[in-house]
Structure 1
Amino acid sequence: MHLVEIIDFKWLMAGDGHRVHVERLQTDPAYAGACLALGAASHRPALRDAAQRLSATLNLPLPDPRAAA
């Protein structure tokens, strides 16, 4: 399930014009936080929801969406 959520997030991010490096997302908490912040700030509900799910999966707090602005 972990990888499925990551890949879902990656493709939703791509739809918003953001590239996500899957391996780095899993190993670099700062990078993951930045990606999650971008996802959480998206105008697309599906991407915001995916960011929230992935945040829980990676056991990282969901960043404040305003941090990505």
Structure 2
Amino acid sequence: MKTMSNTHPPGNSGHGVERTELLEDVDFKWLMAGQGWWVDTGRIHTDPDYIHTMLDLASSTDSDVLHECAIHLQNHVPIGSPAG
């Protein structure tokens, strides 16, 4: 007889935060695409100048959803200071 345990289902090792952050990245990418801007999600996490530019573009739109998504992204991406 199988019993239920309080463990994560197969394939889910408790990485809910990482999944949430990935979904926020994807949401941001597609919301930006809707505004006509292509986003390289890999650069979001490695290039402070790039993420600053993307967040500035997002804040210049009339999209409240994009503004909210940008705020969430800003909270989990190590932004640092842009060069220059």
Same-fold call, TM cutoff 0.5:
yes
Equivalent runs, 1:26-45 vs 2, <5 Å: 26-45=45-64
Mapping of residues 1-69 of structure 1, within 5 Å: 1-60=20-79
TM-align CA RMSD: 1.4
**C-alpha contact 2:43 2:50 (8 A) present in aligned 1:** yes
Structure 2: segments with no counterpart, 5+ residues: 1-19
- Aligned pair count? 61
Percent same amino acid among aligned pairs? 36
Deviation at 1:60, TM superposition (A): 3.4
Amino acid at match of 1:27: T
d(CA) in 2 for partners of 1:22, 1:60:
13
Structure with greater helix percent: 1
Deviations 1:46-69 (A, max 9, x none): 0111111111111438xxxxxxxx
Q: Which of 14-23 and 50-59 deviates more?
A: 50-59
Q: State the 4+ residue runs in structure 1 displaced beyond 6 angstroms.
A: none
Give TM-score scaled by structure 2 length: 0.67
* Equivalent-residue separation in structure 2 for 1:28 and 1:40 (angstroms): 18
Normalised to the residue count of structure 1, the TM-score between the two structures is: 0.80
Q: Radius of gyration: which is bigger?
A: 2
